[in-house]
Amino acid sequence: DIQMTQSPSSLSASVGDRVTITCQASQDIKNKLNWYQQKPGKAPKLLIYDVSNLETGVPSRFSGSGTGPDFTFTISSLQPEDFATYYCQQYDNLILPRITFGQGTRLDIK
């Protein structure tokens, strides 16, 4: 199975900061890499799909980049509502779908 190594596992930052999270795939994932935000007690929310495509309605301060196996998620200027846990996720659909999530990055207020 493909493993996704996400770092850091936690991060403290201030409003207005630029924040970067990385994710490394153990195999070629052909840019099938998505990013989600999860707030406590809530379901995850899709932010970025296929490395760099912004989901409809997601603010432009969120962005994604990279080519396999290393991918990056960036928040350009942190807002109070951005403090949450973020997950990368890969998927492949060669025969039948298979999905793996990264371990998550908890983003706290400094």
**Interface residue list for another protein (CB under 8 A):** 1, 32, 34, 36, 38, 43-46, 49-50, 55, 87, 89-93, 96-104
Distance in Å, CB of 16 to another protein, minimum? 28
Distance in Å, CB of 65 to another protein, minimum? 18
Per the structure block, which two tokens stand in for 20?
């970067």
Per the structure block, which two tokens stand in for 44?
């995850």
Nearer to another protein, 45 or 76 (CB): 45
Distance in Å, CB of 55 to another protein, minimum? 7
Instruction: Provide the residue type at 68 as one letter.
Output: G
Nearer to another protein, 99 or 109 (CB): 99
Nearer to another protein, 49 or 83 (CB): 49
Catalogue the long-range contacts made by 66-70 (C-beta closer than 8 Å, 24 or more residues apart). Answer: 66/33, 67/31, 68/25, 68/28, 68/29, 68/30, 68/31, 69/24, 69/25, 69/26, 69/27, 69/28, 69/29, 70/22, 70/23, 70/24
Nearer to another protein, 12 or 31 (CB): 31
